[in-house]
Structure 1
Amino acid sequence: MTGKEYLLSKKWGVFNHYLDLLQGDVNKPHNQPFGKLAWSDLVDCFDVERLAWSLHQMNAGYYFITLMQGTKSMLAPNATFDRIAGTKPGEACARRDLPMELADALSKYNIDLCLYYTGDGPWKDDIAGSRFGFTEPRKDISMDFCKKWASVLEEYAERYGDKVKAWWIDGCFRESFGYTEEMYEQYYNVIVKANPQALVGFNDGVKRRHEKNYSKETLICGEFNDFTRVPKSDDFYGGALPHTLAPLGYDGETMNEYSGWGSPGVKRPLDYMVKYIQAVNRVGGVVTIDILVRADGSFDPEQEGFLRQVGSRL
């Protein structure tokens, strides 16, 4: 069974943003009940066994979590990052290897681990962003940056190997950043070298339809703000796995590019969500559902209960 066939058999999964700007913010529900903690200490609060059991109760087939997003706070140790950014172990990269622990906990229930990475590095941090070579206003990305940032990814990819089934790489914008095929190649090569069966997708932002962004892409990123678009079959995307990623929550604001991500609540009825996932499965695709996770790895109760009902009908 290929990596694509394998992930397709899982039907649907859950996505979590676990970030210093969410779980580390005492004013957000993601932080409760921990208060202000250093990033590495916050990661220590995550209960992998509890999360794995919760996903098992949902009948979820796989689980995505962010390695980072925008800042220097990385979810796991990375000596390459520390060397380039000039940071000490535990200062930017968590001391705990949470992805490795997650992979082991999830494997008890035959749930696969997938990881989120970005194509713009720690751009929000003036020092780390400058050392990698990409900061505001995030224009004219360079091959030098891509090689440095790919070397950080390489350390993770080699460490996790086939424990990670798919990589979803955000912020790989062709028009606004200047990404090219050769730049995508830097990331793609280190991933498939570590795990030839891994699926890889490069996100070029929210689109009006499912699109392939890179010639060798094996996973359609499929970022949307709601579960309304059904992809075409894999033949249309050159064999890449059709995939939708959207948030279940709704933050009460007018729907826009960021509405609902990591937010509590449920924006669609049960029957609607079940039928949507089934529709995507019928064309040979999978659906990933973004929900709120707290610092300790517990989910929003309403969303968790809802997805248990969804999973019981799939």
Structure 2
Amino acid sequence: MRFWHGFGSHLNPVFSFPSLPQPPMDQYNHSSLAEFVFFGFASGGYVRGCLFVLLLLAYLFTICGNTLVFLVIRLESALHTPMYHFVSVLSFLELWYTATTIPKMLANILSEKKTISFAGCLLQTYFFHSLGASECYLLTAMAYDRYLAICRPLHYPAIMTTTLCAKMAAACWTCGFLCPISEVILVSQLPFCGYNKIQHIFCDFPPLLSLACKGTSTNILVDFAINAFIILTTFLFITISYARIIGAVLQIKTAAGRKKAFSTCASHLAVVLVFFGSIIFMYVRLRKSYSLTLDRILAIVYSVLTPMVNPIIYSLRNKELIKAIKRTIFQKEDKASLAHH
């Protein structure tokens, strides 16, 4: 999940965030910090310019892609089904998720100061984690939807109603936004005095905890309990759902039938693999130390790439969605042409 390192980084050096210089002991009596300074961006003008352009293009593509998928599903009556409803909610979520980090990263690349207020840092951390948790729950709800559609097709229309679908989506958002509250409250009560340089490209729990002037064992324990529960529960549920889906598909006698049945969940499975695969690639380390530069690069990949590829995956793997997008675009062009003439 997007906050995997929040519970592992201070318990085991395998998951550890790079160790940062600690403030001298004579600074512990100083007042709390008013702002933090990001030290995770390149200083060279050419490198900064290239990074800004690439990040901006990726952000624009993410906005356009997810907005297009969301609007097409909402406008096309043929796509008003539970499966596409969840896809539209996922696209809407990705828009907000990227908005919590990328605009500030773009501003910091161009700025010489690269600061963020204490309250702003806590807010960024909260929304970053809450939206990550919401996506975990949403992907789990989508797995349950595919399980019902393939394993219980006769009961699917009666079980997965529009009302249930809406309630499940609302529950994903609600649970996601409730999860990090206790973590943020505990961090807000820590004293931050003296050293205020965050060796990262956005605010997160591990770099904040490393700057605290007192022990953070309580924070680590709470982070571990909350995030381990979310990750293990959702991943286990998704795994069980797909194990049953694969079992049901293999029982279909014809190859064409198996292909048709599995194609309905191929896009979701691809998104799940990218989502959890990126977490493992970024946070499950076999080395105790690693380059700060590598960590920053991986953070950009993790916070930018995953939301960007989701609309691509659903567009390339779903013929109905591709047709709906083409109909929407071409109809608008036809109407514009008729109005012009």
- TM-score, length basis structure 2: 0.25
The structure whose RCO (Cα within 8 Å, separation 6+) is larger is: 2
Structure with higher Rg: it is 2
- TM-score, length basis structure 1: 0.27
Which one has the bigger helix percentage? 2
Which one has the bigger strand percentage? 1
